[in-house]
Amino acid sequence: MIHVKPIERAAFSPLSAAGLLGLTLLIAAAAAAAQDDGGQPQRLQAITLTAGMHNIRAEVAITPEQRQKGLMYRRDLASHEGMLFVFEDIMKQCFWMKNTPTPLTIAFIADDGSIVNLADMKPFDEDSHCSSKPVRFVLEMNQGWFAKRGIKPGFKLGGAPFKP
């Protein structure tokens, strides 16, 4: 049993309660600011992937923090650019579009570079889009990039991350 010592009533005058509320709100705002990066997109090191005769400049998100932010806030994704998410473990991967203003198509990719499945994602949509089977790699491109090039599940991408 926990014994709590009663607090004197005088300690909670209306001014003190307002001050306490203000302090609580200030602490909450500071914590949110520490987690919020001000809506700035991240720019990561890029590698070149290939999709047949097409080159893809893919920024690589490796750390949990890089993967979590992904393409959030990015408004200027060029037609041949994307982001490759690399995970330590092969498992079902799910993505959403929180704070992401650009419509994207996501490709879930096996270790050998084969596309497992594709999904179109709407800006700011928080619905999950998941791989149909466990994967280690996920590639986000401008929406329609794969369709315009006739790239479908089973198509094999090339590049350093994929085992031959």
Domain edges within the chain = 11-38, 46-148
Residue 42's pLDDT is what?
96
Residue 37's pLDDT is what?
58
pLDDT tens-digit readout, 106-151: 999 999 999 999 999 999 999 999 999 999 999 999 999 999 999 9
3-state SS class at 146: helix
Whole-structure pTM value: 0.77
Count of C-beta atoms within a 10 Å radius of residue 87: 16
Cβ contacts of residue 91 below 8 Å, gap of 6+?
Answer: 134, 135
Smallest CA-to-CA distance from 136 within 109, 156, 161 is with 109
Residue 163's pLDDT is what?
81
CA dihedral 119, 124, 127, 133 (to 10 degrees): 30
Fold for 46-148, please state it: Jelly Rolls (2.60.120)
Cβ contacts of residue 135 below 8 Å, gap of 6+?
Answer: 87, 90, 91, 92, 93, 108, 109, 110, 111, 116
Strands (E), the chain: 46-51, 54-61, 81-91, 94-95, 104-109, 115-121, 129-130, 135-142
Residues in the chain predicted with pLDDT less than 50, given as ranges, are: 1-36
Tokens, residue 137: 């790699």
Token pair 């650019």 in the structure block, residue: 81
Asked if 137 contacts 109 with a C-beta cutoff of 8 angstroms, the reply is yes
